[in-house]
């Protein structure tokens, strides 16, 4: 009989290996619909309250797909998402939500879908700046429109009580994921990079309360590290890949902090559980930690990044830069300059979800870990 930890990691790994099967199984058992959410700031609580399963799509859920008809300047996240949609691989998705996190996805819901695509789409456009007068009112208006849309898709009105329950479920999930990250900070090596990636990724295709159960089971593991740690790394960027995490584990690098889009940025920022629930979700968005895909925040991202770096106890900074991702690329000079000024080993490693880069990632990460030893 496998332990709770073994069960959790095995189940999470299976979901990551075949997310479509996980979504299909949920739909069959529940008789409800699923909505595909483009990363990363969709207010999923509204969908959950409507009885819809939010499924966050990252573009590498399937083996490499043809990019025919997709502009070469589009990043591999967007290219992978659109390729999968065009080839019909996400047949279990009943509707799509496109947040305006970058120029590509602001327009993708109109121009990158095949003409015959008839599934409902919601373009969730954020205010250009959280400091703009009227930003809260605008976000509240968008939240209300999103609630009405979700109710139409599901056939059930999204009540205030359902929203309150959804926010509590999601906040509990955020707390559980926060405990995982705190464990990795306090006990470097207690969870490997691959395990962190697996536990994080599994939450993209599971109902949130089910994911919380997996996280709690994983956290029953002993706090003692089970591998030697040669470097404590803070990881930033959009998302890791399994080859990168495998290379980090093999090199003896322990993740002690991150602000990955598929990581801390996705699983942080609880909403208030009192008052008007839609207003709570609107305010949560406007006070998010600085992110290269959001604009006009009062706190520069670089300042917040290095504040969290210092708090983590890391001794190296690794940027996983998605190729053709302009928002992330714009941060590289400031990251490199600040790291150099502070004597912090810094590596910018390019990621392409449609390319096999296992060998090159292994060599570069090994050299990165050896720096300053």
Strand partners, 348: 319
Q: Where does the chain show beta strands of DSSP type E?
A: 34-37, 53-56, 95-99, 121-124, 231-237, 253-258, 316-322, 346-351
Q: Which helix (H) or strand (E) holds 194?
A: helix 193-202
347 domain-assigned:
no
User: Is 90 exceeded by the pLDDT of residue 17?
Assistant: yes
350 domain-assigned:
no
Average pLDDT for 116-140? 85
365 domain-assigned:
no
User: Is 90 exceeded by the pLDDT of residue 115?
Assistant: no
129 domain-assigned:
yes
Say if residues 84 and 90 touch (Cβ distance below 8 Å): yes
93 domain-assigned:
yes
pLDDT digits (tens, 9 = 90+) for 23-77: 999 999 999 999 999 988 999 999 999 999 999 999 888 876 666 666 777 787 8
272 domain-assigned:
no
Number of domains present in the structure of the chain: 1
Give the pLDDT confidence score for residue 357 in this predicted structure: 67
Give the pLDDT confidence score for residue 279 in this predicted structure: 96
CA 79, CA 355: separation in Å to the nearest integer? 12
CA 332, CA 334: separation in Å to the nearest integer? 6
Q: Quick one: pLDDT band at residue 84, thresholds 50, 70, 90? A: confident
Q: Does the predicted model carry a pTM greater than 0.75?
A: yes
CA 47, CA 135: separation in Å to the nearest integer? 22
User: Is 90 exceeded by the pLDDT of residue 199?
Assistant: yes
30 domain-assigned:
yes
3-state secondary structure of 14: helix
Q: Quick one: pLDDT band at residue 210, thresholds 50, 70, 90? A: very high
CA 306, CA 295: separation in Å to the nearest integer? 19
Return the ∠ at Cα 16 (arms to 190 and 28), rounded to 5°.
130
Closest CA to 139 of 253, 41, 16: 41
Q: The domain containing residue 129 runs over which residues? A: 4-160
CATH number of the domain where residue 55 is located: 3.40.50.11890
244 domain-assigned:
no
Assign 3-state DSSP to the chain and report helix, strand, coil percentages, each to 5: 50, 10, 40
pLDDT digits (tens, 9 = 90+) for 262-305: 999 999 999 999 999 999 999 999 988 888 777 655 557 889 99
Look at 82 and 6; give whichever has higher pLDDT: 6
Give the pLDDT confidence score for residue 337 in this predicted structure: 94
3-state secondary structure of 124: strand
């Amino acid at each position: 009989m496998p332990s709770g930890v073994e069960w959790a990691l095995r189940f999470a790994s299976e979901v990551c290996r075949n997310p479509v099967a996980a979504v299909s199984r949920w739909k069959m058992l529940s008789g409800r619909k699923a909505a595909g959410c483009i990363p990363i700031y969709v207010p999923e609580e509204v969908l959950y309250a409507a009885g819809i399963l939010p499924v966050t799509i990252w573009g590498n859920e399937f083996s490499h797909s043809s990019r025919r008809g997709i502009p070469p300047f589009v990043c591999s996240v967007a290219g992978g998402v659109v390729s999968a949609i065009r080839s019909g691989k996400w047949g279990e998705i009943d509707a799509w939500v496109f947040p305006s996190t970058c120029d590509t996805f602001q327009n993708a819901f109109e121009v990158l879908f095949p003409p015959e695509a008839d599934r409902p789409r919601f373009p969730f456009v954020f205010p250009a700046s959280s400091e703009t007068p009227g930003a809260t009112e605008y976000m509240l208006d968008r939240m209300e429109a999103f609630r009405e849309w979700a109710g139409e898709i599901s056939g059930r009105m999204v009540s205030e009580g359902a929203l309150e329950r959804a926010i509590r479920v999601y906040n509990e999930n955020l707390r559980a994921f926060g405990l995982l990250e705190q464990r990795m900070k306090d006990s470097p090596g207690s969870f490997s990079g691959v395990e962190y990636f697996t536990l994080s990724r599994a939450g993209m295709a599971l109902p949130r309360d089910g994911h919380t159960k997996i996280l709690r089971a994983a956290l029953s593991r002993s706090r003692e590290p089970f591998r030697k740690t040669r470097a404590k790394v803070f990881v930033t960027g959009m998302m890791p890949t399994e080859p990168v995490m495998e290379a980090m584990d093999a090199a003896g690098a322990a993740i002690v902090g991150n602000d990955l889009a598929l990581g801390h940025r996705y699983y942080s920022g609880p909403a208030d559980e009192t008052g008007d629930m839609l207003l709570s979700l609107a305010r949560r968005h406007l006070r998010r930690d600085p992110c290269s895909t959001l604009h006009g925040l009062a706190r520069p991202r670089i300042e917040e990044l290095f504040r969290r770096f210092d708090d983590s106890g890391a001794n190296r900074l690794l940027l996983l830069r998605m190729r053709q991702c302009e928002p992330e690329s714009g941060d590289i000079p400031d990251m490199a300059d600040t790291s150099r000024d502070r004597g912090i080993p810094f590596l910018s490693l390019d990621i392409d979800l449609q390319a096999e880069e296992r060998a090159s990632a292994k060599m570069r990460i090994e050299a990165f870990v050896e720096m300053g030893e």
